[in-house]
């Protein structure tokens, strides 16, 4: 594993001014030599002018949130991160790497969740380069590497959890977005460590059942919702009936035997649990 090291480049502005002065001087000497028709002096001034031009290629600029990786005949020399105009050996190759925060969205992947149901899933990954040496030399193309490894991590994560959990204590892709996103970030980061990349954020941006089972799964979700609502209604109705019987007994409004209590309970449950308004029947006679 190759780690980044800082290269202390020389300030570029003083050297640029010096080179401009030398360039002007050698140009003036060359003109004088040509006018004097002095071949040796022409050769020397031409050589000096060429040297100044070659040295000027050692000047380079580093922009904010950018780094320049320096190499000498294939050997890694160091990285310059400080913004400004700098000077280094003219024979150094200077390759630019952006350290800005980037983001991309994976393609919609079709995978099977833990229960074997086909789902479509996609994620947004926010990342940046933190080690320029690893990003440049450990992988072939670090941008492509980030995209491929992120999709692989997302595909692997989707197979570990169901789309919907059977109980509240189990994690699911749809109900536990925060926990799933944190685990996705950790898995992507583990894969990208060797590329010198830091994952800032990873979150699921798209999650749905595959089209071939979407209709059936929607009906199942609706059925589960209806069952849950009915259970809540029945629970409340039983509590209300119990309270009504206790209040009638405590206030001595009417004494009911077991048969009448059962009939009253049945009527109240029908009224309270019905999915539509009941039609009342008024009894004008005695209850016995």
In the chain, what are the domain boundaries?
Answer: 10-98, 102-209, 214-273
**CATH topology classification for 102-209:** Tetrahydropterin Synthase; Chain A (3.30.479)
Nearest-10 Cα torsion for 240, 241, 245, 251: 30
Dump strand ranges (E) for 164-283: 197-209
**CB neighbour class for 165 (10 Å; exposed up to 12, middle 13-18, buried from 19):** middle
**CB neighbour class for 44 (10 Å; exposed up to 12, middle 13-18, buried from 19):** middle
Confidence of residue 197 (pLDDT cuts 50, 70, 90): very high
Q: Which of 209, 180, 202 is nearest to 120 (CA)?
A: 209
Contact 162, 114 (CB under 8 A): yes
Q: How far is CA 236 from the centre of its chain?
A: 44
Classified as helix, coil or strand, 174 is coil
Q: Which two tokens stand for residue 10?
A: 């020389």
94-149 residue pLDDT tens: 999 999 999 999 989 888 888 888 888 999 999 999 999 999 998 889 999 999 99
| Residue partners of 67: CB distance under 8 A and separation at least 6 | 79, 80, 81, 96, 97, 98, 99, 129, 132
69-94 residue pLDDT tens: 999 998 999 999 999 999 999 999 99
Give the global pTM.
0.68
Classified as helix, coil or strand, 76 is strand
Question: Which DSSP symbol is given to 283?
Answer: -
207-251 residue pLDDT tens: 887 776 556 556 666 666 666 666 777 777 677 777 777 776 676
| Residue partners of 172: CB distance under 8 A and separation at least 6 | 161, 162, 163, 164, 165
Contact 180, 113 (CB under 8 A): no
- Tell me the average pLDDT across 48-76: 91
């Amino acid at each position: 594993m190759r780690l980044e090291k800082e290269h202390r480049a020389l300030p570029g502005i003083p050297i640029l001014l010096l080179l401009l002065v030398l360039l002007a001087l050698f140009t003036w000497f060359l003109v004088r030599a040509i006018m004097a028709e002095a071949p040796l002096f022409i050769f020397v001034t031409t050589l000096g002018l060429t040297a100044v031009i070659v040295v000027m290629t050692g000047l380079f600029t580093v922009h904010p949130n950018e780094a320049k990786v320096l190499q000498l005949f294939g050997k890694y020399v160091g990285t310059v991160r400080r913004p400004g105009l700098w000077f280094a050996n003219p024979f150094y190759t200077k390759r630019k790497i952006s350290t800005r925060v980037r983001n991309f969205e994976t393609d919609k992947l079709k995978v099977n969740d833990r229960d074997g149901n086909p789902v479509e899933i996609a994620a947004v990954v926010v990342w940046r380069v933190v080690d320029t040496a690893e990003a440049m030399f450990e992988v072939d193309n670090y941008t492509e590497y980030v995209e491929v490894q992120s999709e692989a991590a997302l595909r692997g994560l989707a197979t570990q959890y169901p789309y919907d959990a059977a109980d509240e204590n189990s994690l699911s892709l749809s109900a536990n977005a925060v926990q799933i996103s944190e685990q996705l970030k950790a898995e992507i980061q583990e894969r990208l460590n060797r590329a010198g990349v830091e994952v800032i954020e990873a979150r699921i941006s798209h999650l749905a059942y595959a089209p071939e089972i979407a209709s059936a799964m929607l009906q199942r979700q609706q059925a589960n919702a209806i069952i849950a609502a009915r259970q809540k209604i029945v629970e409340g109705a039983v509590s209300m009936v119990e309270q009504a019987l206790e209040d009638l007994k405590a206030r001595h409004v009417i004494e009911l035997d077991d048969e009448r209590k059962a009939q009253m309970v049945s009527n109240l449950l029908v009224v309270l649990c019905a999915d539509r308004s009941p039609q009342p029947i008024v009894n004008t006679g005695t209850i016995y």
